[in-house]
Structure 1
Amino acid sequence: MIPKLEQTFRWFGPSDPVSLLAIAQTGATGIVNALHHIPCGEIWGVDEILERKEIINKAGFSWSVVESVNVHESIKMGTAARDHYISNYIETLTNLSAAGIYTVCYNFMPVLDWTRTHLDFRLPNNASALRYHAPALAAFDLYILQRDDAFKEFSPAQQLAAKTYLDTLKDTEKQLLTNTILAGLPGTDEVFTINEFKIYLEKYATVNEQKLKENLRYFLKAVIPYAEKLGIKMCIHPDDPPFAILGLPRVVKCEEDLVEVVNMCHSVSNGITLCTGSLGANKINDIPGIINRLGAHIHFLHLRNVCREPDGSFYEAEHLSGDTDMFAVMKAVVDEQLRREKAGRSDLAIPMRPDHGHKILDDYNYQTYPGYSVTGRLKGLAELRGLELGIRRMLNN
């Protein structure tokens, strides 16, 4: 019988309010981690990697996936400094390989990582979810950020909805919206100021979608050959949300983009992080179909669900509800494992983690990173574990 998916849990390091001892009670066996204290673009030293690995191992886990070795903005913008940061990136991969860590998740989203407008959206059962509210994002873009081209990009109806929403906000709520949208990388408390963000927008003024794709291709052509020699599997994370926002381009939005990324540099080391939440925010994405067609390139799974709204808004749903058919997703993943077994591949136990859990029950007593409460993710992992078991039993009958 093929092995189960490797059940993992994201941990943000020793400062994370969610301890490894707590994670041990979820049933996860692998940890998804990164050295968040090292600034983006700097080399991760072997000693620091091994120190973190020892902490994880002593708690009874394996360090299964690095999420993320972040890509420096110079690489995304294609500046003269990019070769320096690519060299640093390769050195970090070399050190991770020396430490026995071989799966690296990364993304190529300009400036901001995943973007939400609300971090405490209350559901009917009073659980707290993350939400992307399209009128709120437009209100920020048009009237708070006051980006020059914003009025050209929103329809009159969208502008009206944005202004109507803005007029309901107090000054403190406008600041909260700003801080939420301009939050930095996961695992940090960094929040860009309006002026800092505008400087980045100026730097990206000449980087359209095609140019960003060219810069991604340049990065992959430089890094993937080394990753392959080191035995490291790189897996790109889709854009979140999977469409352009705030004048910044997106290049990993859909199946067509994923195919293009895979074809930029043919190698087992050039792969995909399949995130059902990021892709699921756009109804055009047939996620089970993507797994069936591109499953051979999937090295890591983020499993979560979203409820979409007609205006482009969405919120994080329970893992087995929402607009993504998680049964069909899990069935496609198990089918991919069967294909790999038939092909003689050894990477059958694909690492999987529950992503962006709700805040429920005791979670309200802890100031965790948004989306990374322990009980909400434990619930999601338990649901996914049961779903996987049910599908395997069904296929064996």
Structure 2
Amino acid sequence: MRQTWRWFGPEDPVSLSDMLQAGVEGVVTALHDLAPGMVWTANDILRRKAEIAYFADGTTTGLTWEVVESLPVSEAIKTRSGPWREHIAAYKESLENLGASGIEVVCYNFMPVLDWTRTDLAYRLPHGGTAMRFDIADFAAFDIHILARAGAKEDFAPEIVEEAAKRFAQMDAATQKALTAKIVAGLPGAAEHRTLEDVRALLATYDGIGPDQLRAHLADFLAEVVPVAKRAGVRLCCHPDDPPFPLLGLPRVVSTAEDYRALLTAVDSPANGMTLCSGSLGARPDNDLVAMMKEFGARVHFLHLRNVKRESDALKGSFHEAEHLGGDTDMAALVSAVLAEEDRRRAEGRSDASIPFRPDHGQAILDDLSKDSTPGYPAIGRLRGLAELRGVIAGLRYAAAS
């Protein structure tokens, strides 16, 4: 298992030096300044590779760009509207340029309108640190009362609708604005920063698109780009929906084992793979992470290892980011399944036997609390997660060798 760390570029408060001190082996990053639908040129890619390879004084870091996260899929591609053909052409060209530069793993997602979504970016924990949280009642208050989406009430259980009304009644304008900003902000480091009106406009573009249609659009996208990725020596890996259930009345089609079976069989190629994110998938009680690793292991090209604590047994419920070895996922059992898959790959002689992983997200603890880090990506919280995961890996390897 190859230890990687997400980096948002030279402006990231967590520096390359910090990463080296954490013992990171490789870098996960993207060209965050380029909007979806734009070509990632060879020069752009080489610039980011150089930023990773060298410190400001010209000395080498010893680090390389190993995984792209993410090469974003535009809303035009997801809806197959507007300039979607041009965007697919740009996506293909970007894959070719990445492959030519030696980058072999490209993560992406197919979530409509909202990417990973939280209602609280600094939820206070009993030990005094903070974590990100998704509160279903707060989200319902946003959807029903702030966004005022038609039909929103029908998407929530009656008790959630009632609680959402109570919470909204207690929100002043500043609280409403803050909640909206957290929900519509989009991915960390992304070039796009949406407003409430942007979200309403994007929702309109999905009129008439249900889960079957969105799944068909995903399959069509894969049919176009996977052959290009294969020729370029690139392994695509789709990140699951986060959270893994429908939001804003929109379908989400990468949330369960059944969804991944459909995705991986749509274009049956080693270049069409999976990012197994234990946190995203673990937010649903009916997802068995160990079983998914065993079933899809041959096509798992990237791992996000993190944990969440579900706050109810509902399929669509609240949860918060737990410690990496806490929460509802048996992390030791999952890592054991990953190591078994790596052993199988080595026996087959696969060049990708060592699967890159990163300690995804992290609680803000200690000095993290006084620093302005990217939400979900504090230095010490992730270092703790990486250290804990290293311990699990070392213990399992020792036990297997005994």
Q: Secondary structure at the match of 2:66?
A: strand
- Structure-2 residue corresponding to 1:214: 216
Q: Is the 8 A contact 1:183 1:189 kept in 2?
A: no
- Structure-1 residue corresponding to 2:38: 42
Instruction: State how far apart, in whole Å, the 2-side matches of 1:192 and 1:52 are.
Output: 25
Instruction: State how far apart, in whole Å, the 2-side matches of 1:121 and 1:334 are.
Output: 33
- Structure-2 residue corresponding to 1:24: 20
Q: Is the 8 A contact 1:179 1:191 kept in 2?
A: no
Q: Is the 8 A contact 1:63 1:101 kept in 2?
A: yes
Matches within 5 A, 1:222-261: 222-261=224-263
Instruction: State how far apart, in whole Å, the 2-side matches of 1:191 and 1:62 are.
Output: 28
Moved more, 72-81 or 273-282: 72-81
**Matched residue type, 1:319:** H
Instruction: State how far apart, in whole Å, the 2-side matches of 1:186 and 1:265 are.
Output: 30
Asked if 1:201 corresponds to 2:203, the answer is yes
Q: Is the 8 A contact 1:69 1:104 kept in 2?
A: yes
Deviation string, structure 1 residues 53-109 (Cα, Å, up to 9, x no partner)? 122122221211000100011110011522211110010111111111111000000
| CA shift for structure 1 position 366 | 2.2
- Structure-2 residue corresponding to 1:338: 343
- Structure-2 residue corresponding to 1:137: 139
**Matched residue type, 2:400:** L
Instruction: State how far apart, in whole Å, the 2-side matches of 1:170 and 1:14 are.
Output: 37
Q: Secondary structure at the match of 1:316?
A: strand
Q: Secondary structure at the match of 1:160?
A: helix
- Structure-2 residue corresponding to 1:55: 51
- Structure-2 residue corresponding to 1:394: 399
Match of 2:283 among 281, 284, 301: 281
**Matched residue type, 2:123:** F
| CA shift for structure 1 position 32 | 0.1
- Structure-2 residue corresponding to 1:364: 369
Q: Is the 8 A contact 2:35 2:191 kept in 1?
A: no
Q: Secondary structure at the match of 1:306?
A: strand
Match of 2:118 among 101, 116, 119: 116
Instruction: State how far apart, in whole Å, the 1-side matches of 2:231 and 2:336 are.
Output: 32
**Matched residue type, 1:17:** P
**Matched residue type, 2:26:** G
Unaligned runs of 5+ in 1: none
Match of 1:187 among 186, 189, 211: 189
- Structure-1 residue corresponding to 2:6: 10
Instruction: State how far apart, in whole Å, the 1-side matches of 2:146 and 2:76 are.
Output: 27
Match of 1:325 among 303, 319, 330: 330
Instruction: State how far apart, in whole Å, the 2-side matches of 1:330 and 1:147 are.
Output: 41
- Structure-1 residue corresponding to 2:58: none
Q: Secondary structure at the match of 1:158?
A: helix
Q: Secondary structure at the match of 1:25?
A: helix
Matches within 5 A, 1:346-357: 346-357=351-362
Instruction: State how far apart, in whole Å, the 1-side matches of 2:380 and 2:17 are.
Output: 13
Q: How many residues align?
A: 393
- Structure-1 residue corresponding to 2:57: none
Q: Is the 8 A contact 1:8 1:351 kept in 2?
A: yes
| CA shift for structure 1 position 176 | 0.7
Q: Secondary structure at the match of 2:22?
A: coil
Matches within 5 A, 1:284-323: 284-310=286-312, 312-323=317-328
Deviation string, structure 1 residues 93-144 (Cα, Å, up to 9, x no partner)? 1111111111100000011110000001010011110000010001111111
Instruction: State how far apart, in whole Å, the 1-side matches of 2:367 and 2:82 are.
Output: 49
Q: When the two structures are superposed, what TM-score results if normalisation uses the length of structure 2?
A: 0.96
Match of 1:153 among 146, 150, 155: 155
**Matched residue type, 1:363:** D
Instruction: State how far apart, in whole Å, the 2-side matches of 1:234 and 1:70 are.
Output: 12
Matches within 5 A, 1:265-276: 265-276=267-278
Q: Is the 8 A contact 1:113 1:186 kept in 2?
A: no
- Structure-2 residue corresponding to 1:374: 379
Q: Percent identity?
A: 48
